[in-house]
Structure 1
Amino acid sequence: MEESKSEIKPNGTVQSPFKQTYFHGTKADLKLGDLIEIGVNSNYGQKNKAKYIYLTATLDAAIWGAELAFGEGNERIYLVEPTGPIEDDPNLTDKKFPGNPTMSYRSKHPFKVVGEITAWQGHSPEQVEAMKDGLAKLKEQGIEAIED
């Protein structure tokens, strides 16, 4: 029986038998199979109807999403699968982190909830407060966290 392992291609890329894992941080209470879709009020900014939905390939960025989301619900990290194309999140890439090191993306197509991460370590209360203070200062300057 042949063992399945990652293989390095001649151009230096790694081919793996596994799909990319994506996360979505929120305070929404979702179930397996639920779809996260555009058109509902955003968890951020001015809470307008969302034109895009967001996901990330890093757990840390998803944790920030859960910690900074509006609402009183529990912070949750879901494993999601995009149902259509995704693109780099312009709110983070090039403006704040050239090259997309946060591996943050957005889409107009739904994400299907396929799991939930229930054991994760959040940021310290001081880190969360510092981030919220920074976002509040940007808002005072007319710069919103989410641009559509």
Structure 2
Amino acid sequence: MDEGGTREPVTYEHYAHVPGPFLHGTRAVLAVGDELVPGFVSNFQAGRLMNHVYFTALVETAAWGAELATALAGGTGRGHVYVVEPLGPFEDDPNVTDKRFPGNPTQSYRTPSPLRVVGELEDWPGHPPEVLQQMLGRLAALRDQGLDVIED
């Protein structure tokens, strides 16, 4: 937010004001120096190739990404939360910004450029199993209604 209390939208032309660190939650096992790139299948929508890589500035949001990606793939465990560095411009994630939440309270962003892994956050708080199951249930309901649309 600027000094007047209004949020500055994050666009490909105006993103340098967003402080890190940035995080990416996933089921993938990665190493420092690896790059996450677009062009792979979505963790959240079967068969959909993604044009962007998504990331956040909040541990909570990255935890959801890790846990949901793992659960939706039928995996066990929590997944991984990585500290990442965007290698190009980024913008607010239109799937949540002003669509599901006013502003961008999840501090979610996307980029068509790679994200470089610079570390792993080992000790992140996960969600209780019943909360994760509730979220999976909500995602399934959206899918059943045809409302699990990803604007990518």
- TM-score tier by shorter-chain length is 0.7 to 0.9
Q: Which residue pairs with 2:124 in the alignment? A: 120
TM-score (ref. length: structure 2): 0.82
Aligned ranges for residues 36-75 of structure 1 at < 5 Å? 36-69=36-69, 70-71=72-73, 72=75, 74=77, 75=79
Say if 2:73 is the partner of 1:80.
no
1:11-31 C-alpha deviation (Å, 9 max, x unpaired): 579xxxxx5200000000001
CA distance in 2 between counterparts of 1:113 and 1:52 reads 16
CA distance in 2 between counterparts of 1:73 and 1:110 reads 27
Q: Residues 44 and 145 of structure 1 are in contact (CA less than 8 Å); yes or no, is this contact kept in structure 2? A: no
Where structure 1 has 5 or more consecutive residues not aligned to the other structure, the ranges are: 1-8, 14-18
TM-score (ref. length: structure 1): 0.84
Alignment size in residue pairs: 134
Q: Which residue pairs with 1:29 in the alignment? A: 29
Q: Residues 39 and 51 of structure 1 are in contact (CA less than 8 Å); yes or no, is this contact kept in structure 2? A: yes
Where structure 2 has 5 or more consecutive residues not aligned to the other structure, the ranges are: 6-18
Q: Residues 135 and 145 of structure 1 are in contact (CA less than 8 Å); yes or no, is this contact kept in structure 2? A: no
1:138 pairs, out of 134, 138, 142, with 142
> How far is the alpha carbon of 1:113 from its aligned partner?
0.1
> How far is the alpha carbon of 1:86 from its aligned partner?
0.6
> How far is the alpha carbon of 1:91 from its aligned partner?
0.8
1:59-91 C-alpha deviation (Å, 9 max, x unpaired): 000000001004326510000000001100011
Letter in 1 for 2:63: I
Letter in 2 for 1:123: H
